[in-house]
Structure 1
Amino acid sequence: MHDKILLSHGEGGKRTRDLVVKVIARYFDNPVLAPFLDAGLLGRIEGEIAFTTDGYVVTPPFFPGGDIGRLAVCGTVNDLAVCGAKATAISCGLILEEGLPLSSLERALSAMRDAAEEAGVTIACGDTKVVERGKGDGIFITTAGVGVSVDGWRPAPSAVRPGDRILLTGTMGDHQVAVLIARRNLAIEAPVTSDVSPLGGLLLPLLPRFADKIRFMRDPTRGGVGVTLNEMASSANARFVLDEARLPVRESVRGVCEILGFDPLYLANEGKAVLIVDGNAAEEIVAALRRHPYGREAAVIGEVEAGSPGVRMRTLAGGVRAVDYPVGDQLPRIC
C-alpha cells in the first residue's frame, strides 16, 4: 500500500480493492460487511423503523476530544436516539482527496470502529470515492442509519403543554469551541474538548420508565440550543421560556465566547440532548440522566408557558428577551 491516497484508489481496480480489503475492512470487520456485497443484509427487523442520513465535513478533521470518524458515528446514532430509536446499522461513505495521508484515513476509521462499538451499532455497508487534489478537503464522510423504536415511543410535539419543563443533558458549546481552537491554533490556558458522544445509552433507558412523560427530544448540533429550541417551539406551537441563570456553560467555553464575541446558546454540541418533559416528572428525569456519565451535568433550563409561540429568556438582569434565529454562522463546517 502507498502512504497516501491516489486517484487510482477510487478507480475500481486493484488499488481500490486493496484499499477496501486491506485497510477499510480491517477496521469494520463484521458478518454483515464481510461478504462485500452491494448492500448489507440485516435480516428481519422487528419493530417500528427509524431512518436517518447525514454528512460530515468538519475542518480540521481532528480536534480536541474527537475527530470526523467519531463524529460521523455519534451524529448518526444520536439522530436516531432522540427519535426514540436504538441504532441497528449505519453506512459509511468516504470521499477522500488525492494526497490524504493513509495514516489520517486509518485514524478516522479507527475512531469510527470504536464509536460504533460503544454505541452498539454495526457499520453494515459503505462506499469510497477519490477526488483530485484541491477538489476536496482531505476527508468527508456520509452516513445513513437504521434504528428500531424503543417501546414504540415517538416524539409528540403536539403533546407539549404549559407547565412542561425544558431539560438539557449537559454544558453548551463544548464541541464548537474545541473545533474553533483547533482550526485557529488558539492558545487557551484551560483545555476545551469536544463533547462528541453516542447518546443512546443515556436517553433510551428513560423511555420504558418515563415514556408518557417525555414529549419531545432533539440533539442541539448546528445552531446550538438556541436554534434547536426555536425549531421545537415551532413544531409544538408553544412558548418556551429559558432561565439564563440555569444555562450550563463551562468556564473555559464562556471565556472563549467572551473574548471572541460568541453566544454559547448558539454554539454546536455533539453529545447533548434537549428534552421537553412533564413538569411533574422533570426532577426525577434529571436525576436519572445524572446517573449516566454523559448526563452528569443535566439540568432544568426552562419551562413551557402559555402565550404566543417562540423562545424567550429571563435574563440575569431580571428582564425577558427574545431568543431568535441568528443571522449568519458563528463558525461554519463544525460537523
Structure 2
Amino acid sequence: MLKIGKLSNQQLERILTRFSGKLRNEVLTRPCIGEDCAALDFGGQLCVVTTDPITGAESDIGTLAVHIACNDLASSGAEPVGLMVTLLVPPGAGLNQIEEVMSQIKKEADLVNADIIGGHTEVTDAVTRMVVSITALGKARENRVVTTSGAQPGDDIVMTKYAATEGTAILANLLGDFLEPRIGRETVARAQQLIGSISVLKEGLIAADYGATSMHDITEGGVLGAVWELCHASCCGAIIYKENIPLLDETRKICACLGLDPLRLISSGSMLITCRDGNGLVEELQEAGIRSCIIGNITRDKQCMLADGGNMVKIDPPESDELYKARKLFLEGE
C-alpha cells in the first residue's frame, strides 16, 4: 500500500524510467527527481511549464496554489505569464466556495502579474474536499533558464527566508484550537499570517540574473528533502550546517508542541540557490529586502551530510512530509 504524500524516489524513478522518453527536439529538459519544471524552445523564446496540486491544506488553497506553481517557475528563473486552473469540487459544496477559491487565485495572480488563461472545473465524488491544481506557464531568456541539476562542487548553498514557513502556517490554521492553549493565541495568530509569505518569485529572478548554478524551491520534505533532491539531480553531495538554517520562533514552538522535525516540514516561501559566490548573492538579495544566508556547500562526493554540533548525520531521501504525520495524528485520531 502506498504512503500518503509524494511517491518515494525509488517509486518515482521506476515510473519515469518506464513512461518518459525523448521525442521532440523542442523539449530542452527531461523529467527527473528534483526537477520541477519543463523548458520548451519555440525558436528563441523559451516557455517554462510546471504543474502542482494543493492536497495538504484546507484553507487558503487558492493562495497556496498560485504561489506553489509560480515558485517552481521562479526556481528556473522564469517569469509567470499564465495560469491554467483545475478545480475538483466535492458534492454538497456551494457556488460561493468556488467563488472564494477563485477570488484568492485572482488576487494572487494579479500580485505575480499572471493571467488566468483557462482550466477545468467539475463537481465529483472522487474528492471529499476541494482540490486545486494549477499549471503555470512562464517565459525565460535562452541563457537564463536554471535547472535543479546544475550545482557544482565548491558552490555555496544559499537559503532564503525561513524554513517551514508554509508548514507553520498550514498547521496553525488546521490546529489552531489545539495549539492556542499550549503556545499562546498571539503565536498562533502570527503563524497563521505566514500564509502571505510563501512566494519566492522575486529571489528566483534575482538569483537567475546573478548567475545561480541551480535552484530548488523547498516544498514537501522540507529543507533536508530539498537538499537531497538538488544533490541527486546534480550528481553531487553537500554539507549542511544545522545551526545556519533559520527558523522562526513560531515554527520552533509549533513543531516542538506537535513533535515534528521543522527541517522535514513543507517549506514553500524559501528557496535553495547554489552559486560560486554565496556572499555576493546574499548581499544582492539583502539589497532587495530578501533575507538569506549560506547554509552549506556542494561537495564532489555524493554524500549529503548534516553537521549537527560535533556530529555528522547522513541526510536521507525525503519521505512523507511531517505535515501528513500531524494530519494523521491530530485530525484522523491515530
TM-score (norm 2): 0.76
- In structure 2, how many angstroms separate the alpha carbons of the residues matched to 1:267 and 1:243? 17
Instruction: Select the residue among 313, 324, 334 that pairs with 1:332.
Output: 324
Structure 1 unaligned spans of 5+? 1-43
Moved more, 88-97 or 44-53: 44-53
- In structure 2, how many angstroms separate the alpha carbons of the residues matched to 1:56 and 1:45? 33
Where does residue 244 of structure 1 map in the other structure? 242
Note the 1:129-278 alignment, pairs <5 A.
129-132=122-125, 135-150=126-141, 152-155=143-146, 159-184=150-175, 185=177, 186-187=179-180, 188-189=183-184, 190=187, 191-192=190-191, 193-194=194-195, 196-208=197-209, 210-211=210-211, 214-278=212-276
Q: Which amino acid aligns with 1:153?
A: R
Superposed CA RMSD: 2.3
- Displacement of 1:77 in angstroms is 1.2
1:102 matched to 2:103? The reply is no
Where does residue 299 of structure 2 map in the other structure? 305
Q: Is the 8 A contact 1:238 1:305 kept in 2?
A: yes
Q: Is the 8 A contact 1:119 1:201 kept in 2?
A: no
- In structure 1, how many angstroms separate the alpha carbons of the residues matched to 2:247 and 2:235? 28
Structure 2 unaligned spans of 5+? 1-41, 327-334
Where does residue 56 of structure 2 map in the other structure? 58
- Displacement of 1:46 in angstroms is 6.1
- In structure 2, how many angstroms separate the alpha carbons of the residues matched to 1:117 and 1:173? 25
SS at the partner of 1:100? coil
SS at the partner of 1:205? helix
- Displacement of 1:168 in angstroms is 0.6
Note the 1:11-90 alignment, pairs <5 A.
47-60=45-58, 62=59, 67-90=60-83
- Displacement of 1:151 in angstroms is 5.2
Q: Which amino acid aligns with 1:301?
A: I
Which one has a larger percent helix, Structure 1 or Structure 2?
2
- Displacement of 1:288 in angstroms is 1.8
- In structure 1, how many angstroms separate the alpha carbons of the residues matched to 2:235 and 2:171? 34
- Displacement of 1:200 in angstroms is 2.3
1:268–1:168 distance in 2 versus 1, CA, 3 Å: same
Give me the identity figure in percent.
23
Q: Is the 8 A contact 1:86 1:150 kept in 2?
A: no
- Displacement of 1:45 in angstroms is 9.3
1:69–1:182 distance in 2 versus 1, CA, 3 Å: same
Larger radius of gyration: 1
Where does residue 29 of structure 2 map in the other structure? none
1:290–1:228 distance in 2 versus 1, CA, 3 Å: same
TM-score (norm 1): 0.75
SS at the partner of 1:325? coil
Q: Which amino acid aligns with 1:103?
A: N
Q: Is the 8 A contact 2:206 2:285 kept in 1?
A: no
Q: Is the 8 A contact 2:228 2:318 kept in 1?
A: no
Q: Deviations over 1:29-58 (max 9, x none)?
A: xxxxxxxxxxxxxxx996111111121223
Q: Is the 8 A contact 2:66 2:108 kept in 1?
A: yes
Q: Is the 8 A contact 1:74 1:196 kept in 2?
A: no
1:88–1:79 distance in 2 versus 1, CA, 3 Å: same
Tell me the matched-pair count: 275
- Displacement of 1:286 in angstroms is 0.9
1:59–1:151 distance in 2 versus 1, CA, 3 Å: same
Q: Which amino acid aligns with 1:200?
A: L
Q: Deviations over 1:170-193 (max 9, x none)?
A: 111121122123223321421313
